[in-house]
Structure 1
Amino acid sequence: MCPPIVSSYRLLLLSSPPPIVSSYRLLLLSSSPPIDSSSYRLLLLSSPPPIVSSYRLLLSSPPPISSAKHRNSYEAWLAGRGLMLSPFHLRWQTTAFNRLFAYCSRLNPHGLYLWFNSGVVFGVVAMVGSVVLLARTLQQTLAQMTSDDPRMAGQQALQVVVPGVNLPTSQLLYFFSALLLSGVIHELGHAVAALREQVRVNGFGVFVFVVYPGAFVDLFTTHLTLISPAQQLRIFCAGVWHNFVLCLAALGFLFLLPILLFPVYSTGGGALVTEGSPADGPRGLSVGDLVTGLEECGVRGVEDWAGCLSRLAISPQTGYCIPTASLQPSWAHGRAYKRLDGTLDCCSNSSLTDLCFSYTSPRDKEREYACMPVRKMVTGTPVCQRDSDCLAKEQAGTTMCVTPSLENQTRFIRVTHPPDTHMLFVGYPPHLQYSVSLTNFVPRFTFLHLDLPVYVVSLSGALAVVNSVPCFALDGQWMLNALLEATLVSVVTDRQRRELIGFFLLLGGSALLAANVALGLWMVTAR
């Protein structure tokens, strides 16, 4: 067993040379010339402390170990793998794809020249069109903020997407995958165009900011500044051009889906509910339900769903043929009373199972009202608009046409989704139309989904539009600067004036985009 540390120090002390005091005494005795004792006193006082004190100091305060070495090792490890980590931001960069970019830039030089020149034309048109579209979207958002008409909801061409608010969590995988794919194709266009214009690509990478993924290419800035404005335009417009082409490709794929996916998907059998909605519930519309009808209007797809609801919204309320014996006057459930809009109600406001119906009395031909259990009365019941419709179907005098007594613009609608019972909806038809997400494609197998190409179309198209906006930090900034340098050199010869014009245009575009984002977020989250 090793001796304790204190004993070790004692052993070391015993084997050490004699104290410094003894050394000075020996020196004093052996010196031949007389030496002033004050000098020795001064020397003794200025000498280092005894060895014992030195050992005590070493034992009580060992030197601290610095963490700089570990920090440098950690940073070197991240840099060696192309990683950069900061708050809410993770980035990875590599040069592994540079050979692929270089190979693509050498394919058919004349074809690539025409391809990227087409991108310049699209980029310039998209820059102007994006400003018009943002202005129109801002106008629609302001109009929606001041109106309660549900038909105005969802009319904006561009909408802010907030995961968990207006994007279901079940769709996050498809959303982020489509967003990353659109970003990669966007940066691929920049990289290939840059190499074709003899601009070096330092690397390609992907990043995650908060929860949103994206991609980027690192271009050699010095090379960019040396090429002409026309060459710069071909590079800067390539990203939005590739997003537009990807959007068209995904859109074409969607149009061909009925043919391509016939073995695994079926169409024409109804509209399939794809995500949860306010209409969800034990007797509502759940994910996977197949809607086949709205009242007597057949639904074979999403188009029929929208068309039927539009017709029901403007048509008179549908009536139902009810046996005369089941009718009870309103005095049995309380006297009918007028609502604020002048319509009558005869049921308690808190009733979740009963509904007030109106009908024409066969005796005095006046309107009477009856509060009845709605599901029991309308299940399997023929529809009608007048009593004669029921008389034509049943024996005279046994049934009559009763109509739900509802507020203006409110409708009672039976939604057929076999094998479940009808979903009974009371409200404004556009509310039902815009709150339920449907698709025409019914998978023959439960593991198939069609959300990815839909998100590719919407997100890639949105990236093409938004990145074209003349806004700071977007592609539109560099596109605008290159465009001004290519077109205004002979008109505005002073470079500072051209830069000032570009600055104010960028300021206006940035303000327009910021207003759309701010109001869009408010509409999604606060309203």
Structure 2
Amino acid sequence: MDAYFIVAIVFLLCFALYFTDTLLKSCLHLPYINLLESSGISIKPLQIKWSTRMLNRSFQRWGSAPGRLTRLWFACGVWITCALLLPSMLLLIYTIYRLLWPAAPAAGAGAAAAAAATRPAFILEPVLPGVNLPADDVPYYLVTLLVCSVCHEIGHAVAAVREHVRVFGSGLLLVLIVPAAFVDVCSESLAALPPGRRLRVLCAGVWHNVVLCAVAALVLAAAPLALAPLYFVNDGIIVYHVEPGSPLHGATGLSAGDLVTGVDDCAVTTRRDWLSCLARQAAAPPAGYCVPSDITATYDETIDHPFQREETGTMECCAASNGSSHLCFQFIADESRPDRGAPPFSCLPARAVVDAAPMRCATTAACAEEHFCLQPALENGTRLLALRRRGARAVLFLGVPAAAFRDTRVSGYRPRSALFSASLPLRLETLARYVLSFSAALAVLNAVPCRALDGQWIWEALLEAG
């Protein structure tokens, strides 16, 4: 679904909700207002706010915990946050600089390289669902924002109670579809604190985000070892879903439970290898297959007059009756041995060529005697890939390598038992990566001296203390 259409629907729903709220307040004045006040809900243009005092008792209990450990905890938060102040400002300045003055392309660079060089390379970049965030990752995006903001506000609330600053309440805020948490503290009591004690409250949010980053990094590092009793790790990737409309879907394609161990001659043991092998095949020039001469003699079904397709510029030497099982292969000669008696084009079954080829080649000189280097005559960007599977024949994929990655869901964790899901570890790792990056970004942004952010009050407290 188009991202702009989704945004339009969200705006329309927000407008309808605000219009309904305004209408009910005018028609059912007292009952509706009493309902909103009792539930703690307030509706404004493009946002819904829910406030509660249910957590005040928990904040009071956590903030009143005696001992030096909690005092040391929030003191560490002040030091860590202050250490982030200058790097955060430099990072923001560098991001603005790259936005206003993008890097110039190197001399002699191609069009693609020039476009990539002139595009600003952000370090801090807004994440927009449907634009630079995959639609499948939107749930992770929303959950991560909620977790990071809740952790941030809990830090402020507990530190405020410890410094005897009153907490009026807390709640959740929904702006469009973006969730966030908030804590309502007594600003007069906070402003009356000495700078050192005030910094413990102001820095607690950034500090808790830093701790959350460390927890997420620990989860990512420990996941393979912790899940080893339940899953085989780094032993190939297991397929757990294939898109129904994909060329890889069906009886001759990949199936849930297949263990992929390689892409052509590129070994695959982890999910990162899967992406790396597909990217390598996409970037490398098309390679040929060292095919025995008897293969061409046995299977060749070349039409009498091969022709070049006008729309793609590729050669076509197969009849329409051959179907998708046959491809047109062209002979790749070598200057030292330009001809070995091979025809310039051969219509051959792709499966027979891939199964019979002992190795890949760039020219016929790389092949043994009585072998030809035959390269599929394909459009630019299209590749013939052999996806190697353990215990089964390789699956042949004809298309853009990026489509193979997009149309399949794979995991580097192979369950030891059918009771465990192959996708669960991947989902946990994806969530941990989002938490790590978003919590780090929230910590950096709140350390910047910008209006309405924690950095504004932190810098004021530091200047007052100095």
TM-score calculated relative to the size of structure 2: 0.71
- CA offset digits 1:433-457 (Å, max 9, x no partner): 7997754234553385242333322
Question: Is the aligned partner of 1:478 residue 2:457?
Answer: yes
C-alpha contact (below 8 Å) 1:329/1:369 kept by paired residues: no
Q: 2:81 matched to which residue of 1?
A: 123
Query: Where in structure 2 are there 5+ consecutive unaligned residues?
Result: 1-23
- Any conservation in 2 of the 1:174–1:455 contact (CA below 8 Å)? yes
Report the CA distance shift for 1:238/1:402 in structure 2 as closer, same or farther (over 3 A).
same
Equivalence for 2:20 = none
Q: Distance in 2 between matches of 1:334 and 1:70?
A: 77
Tell me, in whole angstroms, the C-alpha distance in 2 between the residues paired with 1:102 and 1:95. 11
Structure 1 match to 2:197: 231
User: Partner amino acid for 1:384?
Assistant: R
Map 1:15-414 onto structure 2 (within 5 A).
70-137=28-95, 139=98, 142=102, 148-149=112-113, 157-272=123-238, 280-283=246-249, 290-309=259-278, 312=281, 317-322=286-291, 323-325=295-297, 326=299, 332-334=305-307, 345-347=314-316, 354-360=327-333, 364=339, 369-370=344-345, 372=347, 375-376=350-351, 378-382=353-357, 383-385=359-361, 387=364, 390-391=367-368, 396-397=369-370, 399-404=371-376, 412-414=384-386
Deviates more, 1:135-144 or 1:232-241: 135-144
The reply on whether 1:441 has 2:407 as its aligned counterpart is: no
Alignment of 1:444-459 (within 5 A): 445-446=420-421, 449-450=424-425, 451=427, 452-459=431-438
Q: Deviations over 1:277-304 (max 9, x none)?
A: 9994445779876542111111000332
Note closer, same or farther for the CA distance 1:155–1:303 as it changes in structure 2 (3 Å cut): farther
Q: Which has the greater radius of gyration?
A: 1
Matched position secondary structure for 1:400 = strand
TM-score (norm 1): 0.64
Cα separation, partners in 2 of 1:473 and 1:367, compared to 1, 3 Å: farther
Structure 1 residues 329-372: Cα deviation after superposition (integer angstroms, max 9, x where no partner): 898312699x9xxxx84249xx9954553322877469974264
How far apart, in 2, do the equivalents of 1:265 and 1:277 lie?
24
Tell me: CA distance 1:431–1:118, structure 2 relative to 1, closer, same or farther (3 Å).
Answer: farther
Deviations 1:439-492 (A, max 9, x none): 4234553385242333322332232223333332222222233233333xxxxx
Asked whether the 8 Å contact 1:91–1:206 carries over to 2, the reply is: yes
CA deviation vs aligned residue, 1:378-427 (integer Å, no higher than 9, x gap): 44242232546653xxxx53x32223467899865433357685353555
Larger proportion of strand? 2
> For the Cα contact (< 8 Å) 2:382–2:398, is it kept in 1?
no
Change (3 A) 1:366 1:460: farther
Report the aligned-residue RMSD.
Answer: 4.5
Alpha-carbon distance in 1 for matches of 2:30, 2:263? 68
CA distance in 1, matches of 2:242, 2:133: 11
**Separation in 2, partners of 1:436, 1:134:** 37
Secondary structure of the corresponding residue to residue 270 of structure 1: strand
Q: 1:78 to 1:327 in 2, by over 3 A?
A: same
DSSP 3-state at the match of 2:386: strand
Contact 1:199 1:220 survives alignment (8 Å): yes
> Relative to structure 2, which stretch is displaced further, 412-421 or 477-486?
412-421
Q: 1:235 to 1:279 in 2, by over 3 A?
A: farther
Among candidates 373, 380, 395, match of residue 422 of structure 1: 395
Unaligned segments of structure 1, at least 5 residues:
1-65, 488-527
Counterpart code for 1:269: D
Cα deviation for residue 245 of structure 1 reads 0.6
Distance 2:465 2:145 in 1: 32
Contact 2:152/2:206 (<8 A) preserved:
yes
After superposition, give the CA deviation of every residue in 1:49-92 in whole Å (9 maximum; x if it has no partner): xxxxxxxxxxxxxxxxx987941332222212322222332222
CA distance in 2, matches of 1:405, 1:209: 52
Q: 1:157 to 1:151 in 2, by over 3 A?
A: same
CA contact (8 A) 2:209 2:439 kept: yes
State the match for 2:8 in structure 1. none
Distance in 1 of aligned mates of 2:129 and 2:157? 30
Secondary structure of residue in 1 paired with 2:183: strand
Specify the SS of the correspondent of 1:148: helix
**Native 8 Å contact 2:237 2:268 kept in 1:** yes
Q: Relative to structure 1, is the Cα distance of residues 143 and 305 closer, same or farther in structure 2, using a 3 angstrom cutoff?
A: farther
Alignment identity in percent?
A: 33
Contact 1:293 1:299 in 2 (8 A): yes
The 2-side partners of 1:68 and 1:406 are apart by 67
Equivalent residues of 1:360, 1:367 under 8 A apart: no
Residue 224 of structure 1: how far off its partner (Å): 1.5
Distance 1:67 1:136, change over 3 A: closer
Q: How many residues align?
A: 411
